[in-house]
Chain A
Amino acid sequence: MTDAAPVRPGGAMVEFDGVGLRYGPDAEVLSDISFNLQPGSFYFLTGASGAGKTSLLKMLYLAQRPSRGIVRLFGEDLVAMPRHRLPGFRRRIGVVFQDFRLIPHLSARDNIALPLRVAGVGEEDLSGPVGEMLSWIGLGDRADARPATLSGGEQQRVAIARAVIARPQLLVADEPTGNVDPDMAMRLLGLFEALNRLGTTVVVATHDIHLISRIENAQMMRLEKGRLSDPTGALRYPPANRA
């Protein structure tokens, strides 16, 4: 079931306008956030720990509503959207969590198949895409393994496969390379880049400045103390592209 309309041609996939977020009565953790994310683009979100990256990502993958401001996703206002319409939008978003969040009693295969099952895809149509995805992440021989028996890098790859199996229009990844070695980090980034080439808008939150330089045409957003210091389009990275 998808009740979200497709993004209109030329329209932004994500629009934040004057967005603020506070938890309870405390001070805002995000203030005056305004940016647009264009379809098919690749974005890095950087910032020191506590700058608000995870809070911003939560609003992107619809785990949190803003305290103020306007958030439009796929052309629709999400702030006033009734709760029962959210699942349709969530199915168009893939999320990779820093801590993987794999379901521990399910095999790698079942974890990857989860978004398709939730979307109502029949079992006969599942095995092909899930098998391809397992091969793509190099875990074809570990399909029946439970997460606890997988290494950190393997779990991360399963989490990424789960995020992309339903071909989301927007992929949000929170420190996806934080738990893996540099080689694995580059391989995972390659997966994101390949997905981006297929048209998916990718947002990756990371501390790793070297990672940013590896993606051509990537744009960077930087959060400092809850404020976006470098909105999308104002600064391109790496510096070599600035000439």
Chain B
Amino acid sequence: MIIPRVPVQHRRLLPDRRLSGPTPWVIAILMMLTLLAAAAGVGLARSANAIGSAIAGRVTVQIVTANPVTRAQQAASLRRAAAAQPFVRSARSVEQEELRATLGQWFGSEGSGEGGDDPVLKSLPLPALVDIDFVGEDRSGHIRDLRALVAREAPGARVIPHAEWLGPVARLIRSLAWIAGGMVVLMTLASAAVVIMTARAALATHYPTIEMLHLIGATDRQITRLFQRRIAIDTAYGIALGSAVAAAILLLIGWQWSGVTAGLATTASLGPAGWVLLLALPLLAIALAALTARQTLLAALKKIL
């Protein structure tokens, strides 16, 4: 049992005041930071996975033939030919309006559609783009086959695997997720260290009582349950407080995040498994604290005859 049941009369063997003084507050701060780091880690990991799966099987063919008519013909021909290949799931020509609208965001052009009234944007020679999604896992083989196809249908066109330019971003995000995970582990260890110090301090403070209990025949288990219960309750208070603050912060961030719709930000979310992990962490922390206290107390009591 995480918090052992101890008869009321036995609980009085320890003074009523809290054992540990600042312990609940330190545990609260560590728990809050642990939850925030865990949330960041889960969000980043999901974002990295989303980006990774989105880019892994996609390439864009960029056709830069100078003659716009020929360029459009090559793009249409390539799209049809690619769509007929067994290794291609889908092939889509990117419309010129879509390209201008995307570029318009960077040029600061007003309106939508074809870049509004921006004459510079309208005068730009834009390449024809064909997005192609592969099927299956053999992506290097697919790219080799696609290059051959492109060489026939649109000579001179560039095949750009998305993994080439978004891969480093995904790797960076994945690294940040690992760092967040490492911080969770470190803060868990720090919490355990706080519990160990609290247990040892409690033993030192109450040594005369413990010695007397030993001499009248109390077992290590009886003594340990007394202290384990008190330490578990103290840490549970801290964990509850830290979790409440972390939940408030996460809800605030989530509310603000919901207004962000651009680019990679949309891939970051906790997902059901992430929320389950965040809900489970405080319970795991209480269990860890109780277990740590128990082992510390038993080890310390073994040094007394």
Partner of B217, one of A65, A84, A90, A110: A90
B144 at the interface (CB under 8 A from A): no
Interface pair B12/A87, CB less than 8 Å apart: no
* Distance, CA A99 to CA B277, complexed state (A): 54
Output the least CB separation between A6 and chain B (Å): 16
* Distance, CA A43 to CA B87, complexed state (A): 99
A214 at the interface (CB under 8 A from B): no
Asked, given contacts A101-B208, A118-B216, A118-B218, whether A106 binds B305 with beta carbons under 8 Å apart, the answer is no
Asked, given contacts A62-B305, A117-B10, whether A105 binds B217 with beta carbons under 8 Å apart, the answer is no
Interface pair A117/B9, CB less than 8 Å apart: yes
A118 cross-chain contacts in B, Cβ below 8 A: 213, 216-218, 222
Interface pair B13/A87, CB less than 8 Å apart: no
Interface pair A91/B215, CB less than 8 Å apart: no
The residue on A at minimum CB distance from B14 is: A105
Interface pair B13/A103, CB less than 8 Å apart: yes
A44 at the interface (CB under 8 A from B): no
Chain A interface extent, by class: 20 to 34
Partner of A83, one of B12, B222, B305: B305
* Distance, CA A54 to CA B118, complexed state (A): 101
B305 cross-chain contacts in A, Cβ below 8 A: 62-65, 83, 86
Partner of B214, one of A1, A64, A65, A90: A90
* Distance, CA A113 to CA B216, complexed state (A): 11
Within 8 A of B (CB), among A31-73: 61-65
B73 at the interface (CB under 8 A from A): no
B266 at the interface (CB under 8 A from A): no
12 A-B residue pairs with CB within 8 Å:
A63-B305, A83-B305, A88-B217, A90-B216, A103-B212, A105-B16, A110-B9, A110-B12, A113-B9, A114-B13, A118-B222, A119-B217
Known contacts A83-B305, A114-B13; 7 further A-B pairs (Cβ under 8 A): A64-B305, A88-B217, A89-B217, A90-B214, A91-B216, A106-B12, A119-B217
